[in-house]
Structure 1
């Protein structure tokens, strides 16, 4: 029998414990004017680090969203930092109210992980996309297609967490990391990839289908 999983990301435990302990101390000292706001902060931190279960779509070629949030880019571009030539780029912006656990968009093997220090501009801008700190994972899919998924830090989000390691084989929808307190995830796909989402659409990590990735 599988033990029940606590639906909170482990990276949130220190923040939750600190906020909860501070609230308890303020309550014991009967500083109600401070304890009530501290309790609200504790509740927000708990809610922010929530990690609900998600069910990946049954279609073997379904390419799912790696993040909760809003699509801010869905177009063909050229960006040789991650893939050569023209690619389809899909960017998803996560605000502080979204679930921040990231999920693998399509099953495959991690070929390369690149963490590049950078700035911390607002993540929903082109300036942020070009200059902010990022963690890029290059993947060769189970049907031999190369793609790249990039966690990008933001103005508030200054801590990228990536649990994946080079050589790992991950399944579609599997958890692989998170970004603390809002940011974005960029996808770089083959130019022929036909996406079913557009700018402004709301998506859910591990569940919303962005398109279908057939054989190379």
Structure 2
């Protein structure tokens, strides 16, 4: 288990805030032990919260060219046929994974191949399960081509708390299946768009693991 690099600034800020809380408790209430213990406890809770949120466990990727892996840890909240209007401009099967604040927030490539499309969209911060969050929230859209005519699109979508999306890939990159492609801070969701007829291997409300759970088979 390691600490993700996206969390360094947050951890530094929490350490400074925790030190300030403890200093204030001891300065303004020098004789009140209860206040001191409360400040210590609050500082520990804040630091542990940041450490668990930005944890980056080592995992064994479930690689297979026929598999579409879950891009994130979380719970399946959408499986439906929709119109994908940004890139494919046709009907696709959408599978969405919701990440709560307690999930690992590393995002991974569902397939390996060539990044054909990568675009960041500024937007709103509706709750991640809102029907319009996929098209109106801050988001990134990534398309990976595994081989000719085999493409998977997925979106990182910000939520009401998630106010920073990070992605590390760009058009023209060659990426490996299950490799880290980005990070979303403080909970959100990832949508995956698959060709009609794709075999879906998960069910609504199923808990999935990024890079390990097979969402579908191409």
Taking structure 1 as the reference length, the TM-score comes to 0.90
Q: Tell me the secondary structure at the aligned position of residue 189 of structure 2.
A: strand
Work out which of the residue numbers 37, 42, 47 in structure 2 matches 1:42.
47
Work out which of the residue numbers 9, 13, 20 in structure 2 matches 1:14.
9
1:143, CA displacement in angstroms? Answer: 6.0
- Any unmatched runs of 5+ in structure 1? 1-5
- Any unmatched runs of 5+ in structure 2? 27-35
**Alignment partner, residue 177 of structure 2:** 172
Is the aligned partner of 1:86 residue 2:69? no
1:207, CA displacement in angstroms? Answer: 0.3
**Alignment partner, residue 133 of structure 2:** 128
Please tell me whether the aligned partners of residues 111 and 152 of structure 2 are also in contact (alpha carbons under 8 angstroms).
Answer: no
Work out which of the residue numbers 139, 152, 167 in structure 2 matches 1:147.
152
CA distance in 1, matches of 2:88, 2:102: 31
Mean Cα displacement is larger for which, 140-149 or 10-19?
A: 140-149
CA distance in 2, matches of 1:50, 1:136: 25
Please tell me whether the aligned partners of residues 117 and 134 of structure 1 are also in contact (alpha carbons under 8 angstroms).
Answer: yes
Is the aligned partner of 1:99 residue 2:104? yes
Q: Tell me the secondary structure at the aligned position of residue 126 of structure 1.
A: coil
Pairwise mapping of residues 108-127 of structure 1 onto structure 2 (< 5 A)? 108-127=113-132
1:26, CA displacement in angstroms? Answer: 4.2
Please tell me whether the aligned partners of residues 63 and 178 of structure 2 are also in contact (alpha carbons under 8 angstroms).
Answer: no
Please tell me whether the aligned partners of residues 82 and 188 of structure 1 are also in contact (alpha carbons under 8 angstroms).
Answer: no
**Alignment partner, residue 163 of structure 2:** 158
CA distance in 1, matches of 2:156, 2:134: 10
User: What is the CA RMSD across the aligned residues, in angstroms?
Assistant: 1.7
Is the aligned partner of 1:202 residue 2:215? no
1:34, CA displacement in angstroms? Answer: 2.4
User: In the comparison of the two structures, how many residue pairs are matched?
Assistant: 208
Please tell me whether the aligned partners of residues 83 and 188 of structure 1 are also in contact (alpha carbons under 8 angstroms).
Answer: no
Give the greater-gyration-radius structure (CA). Answer: 2
Mean Cα displacement is larger for which, 170-179 or 24-33?
A: 24-33
1:90-139 C-alpha deviation (Å, 9 max, x unpaired): 00110101110001111011111111111100011102223111100111
Q: Tell me the secondary structure at the aligned position of residue 78 of structure 2.
A: strand
CA distance in 1, matches of 2:175, 2:119: 17
1:83, CA displacement in angstroms? Answer: 1.9
**Alignment partner, residue 32 of structure 2:** none
Mean Cα displacement is larger for which, 73-82 or 21-30?
A: 21-30
